[in-house]
Amino acid sequence: MVETRRRQIEDVASSLFRDQGYAGTSVRDIARGLAIQGASLYAHVASKEDVLWAIVRRAADRFERAADEAERATSGRPADERLEALVRGHVGVLTDDVGQASVFVREWRSLSSERRARIGERRDAYENRWRRLIAEGSQAGAFVPADPPLAAAYLLTALNGIATWYRPGGPLSARAIAAEFVNLSHRALAQERHP
Amino acid sequence: MVETRRRQIEDVASSLFRDQGYAGTSVRDIARGLAIQGASLYAHVASKEDVLWAIVRRAADRFERAADEAERATSGRPADERLEALVRGHVGVLTDDVGQASVFVREWRSLSSERRARIGERRDAYENRWRRLIAEGSQAGAFVPADPPLAAAYLLTALNGIATWYRPGGPLSARAIAAEFVNLSHRALAQERHP
């Protein structure tokens, strides 16, 4: 029950932060979105930043879990297949709950410094998984020789763009977006296979 | 002289908007960055939004000019060469004045609605140039069949990421970034040429 209320708060806040930015949203706006008094909201959360912190942590958990699953499912497979699985997992996290994901992508820097540092470390660790795979694939000849940090930044930024424009129920399905973005990312790196 | 002062104001403001966000920057912060009184700043600009507006327009001009030049230089050439020139021009605008470009990329939505609409139209027109080229290249067989809106969004978002992490004088030169990003973008779309 308490958990349900917290999720409602996070969902309403995600949507507001996405539309008007974290700085442009007040606790009162969030309370109004839930049709409760600001004072009642404080029974559930200590501050606006606490809500942001909860949203960002939950999104970070989802990205990490998706990468874990992608790595498990493609362990021992060629680098290009592992990359496809990582891309597909990342896009899935973005489209499954784009409000939450977009707050993660765009507003994590709005956290206070200690929390920002903790999320920054998790983001670095996540990006490092992509860099490592790109480095391995380049060495193994599965990928064209690429600069792993630059190529990882290129791919992750391109994918994260989904958070800014994707609307569930819009003209483009999550499946169509995933298919196109997996394809573009795969082609950007993978060696053409000559049968 | 007046023009010089305005450019100084825009440069200081770009750097502050980039580091602490438009919402998190006050006119007083900008004045302090110029070592003048807030009141003196108002002799040059009417409001904080006017400074943002000037920065965003100037950046939009630069992106459009770079695309004009790229199109002129590669007119009649194959689509993949025209794409390379567009990418190189776009990356050049980002790295030549990354403070200004990053404010354009990240803060144009902070403009009031009429100005936001005008910049939105220019952004759409710019993105349409990319979509048209991708559509032409797909039809001509120079590119793999791609969804032009999705592929244009993918490329432009990946490139715009430079605005968030590039630091002049940092470990990666503008030239190295451009080379890698041209390469990744070219490969993402172009058909392999079989000699």
- Express each pLDDT in B151-181 by its tens digit: 999 999 999 999 999 999 988 899 999 999 9
Inter-chain contact A147–B192, Cβ cutoff 8 Å?
no
Tens-digit pLDDT profile for residues A111-156: 999 999 999 999 999 999 999 999 999 999 999 989 999 999 999 9
In whole angstroms, what is the distance from residue A15 CA to residue A98 CA? 9
Decide: helix, strand or coil at residue B190.
strand
Inter-chain contact A150–B187, Cβ cutoff 8 Å?
no
CB-based contact B81:B74 (threshold 8 Å): yes
Alpha carbon of B189: minimum distance to chain A alpha carbons (Å)? 7
Nearest to A153 among B147, B153, B161 (CB): B161
Set out the domains of chain B in order of their start, with CATH numbers.
53-189 (1.10.357.10)
pLDDT at position A195 is: 47
Chain B positions in Cβ-Cβ contact with residue A158 (cut-off 8 Å) = 154-155, 157-158, 161
Q: Which residue has the higher pLDDT, B20 or A174?
A: A174
Chain B positions in Cβ-Cβ contact with residue A144 (cut-off 8 Å) = 183, 187
Chain B positions in Cβ-Cβ contact with residue A153 (cut-off 8 Å) = 161, 165
Q: Which residue of A has its CA nearest to B146?
A: A180
Chain A positions in Cβ-Cβ contact with residue B157 (cut-off 8 Å) = 157-158, 160-161, 164
pLDDT at position B113 is: 94
What residue type is assigned to position B25 of the chain?
Answer: T
CB-based contact A130:A152 (threshold 8 Å): yes
Please count the CA atoms within 13 angstroms of the CA of A96 that sit on its side-chain side. 11
Residue A85 has pLDDT above 90, yes or no: yes
Residue A22 Cα to chain centre, angstroms: 17
Predicted interface score ipTM higher than 0.85: yes
Q: Which residue of A has its CA nearest to B148?
A: A180
Inter-chain contact B181–A144, Cβ cutoff 8 Å?
no
Tell me the CA distances in angstroms from B84 to A67, A192, B68, one per residue in order. 32, 20, 14
Length of chain A counted residue by residue:
195
Inter-chain contact A185–B181, Cβ cutoff 8 Å?
no
Q: Using 50, 70 and 90 to split pLDDT, how confident is the model at B36?
A: confident
**How does DSSP assign chain A, residue by residue?**
-HHHHHHHHHHHHHHHHHHH-STT--HHHHHHHTTS-HHHHTTT-S-HHHHHHHHHHHHHHHHHHHHHHHHHHTTTS-HHHHHHHHHHHHHHHHHHTHHHHHHHHHHGGGS-HHHHHHHHHHHHHHHHHHHHHHHHHHHHTSB----HHHHHHHHHHHHHTHHHH--TTSSS-HHHHHHHHHHHHHHHHBPPP--
Mean residue pLDDT of chain B comes to: 93
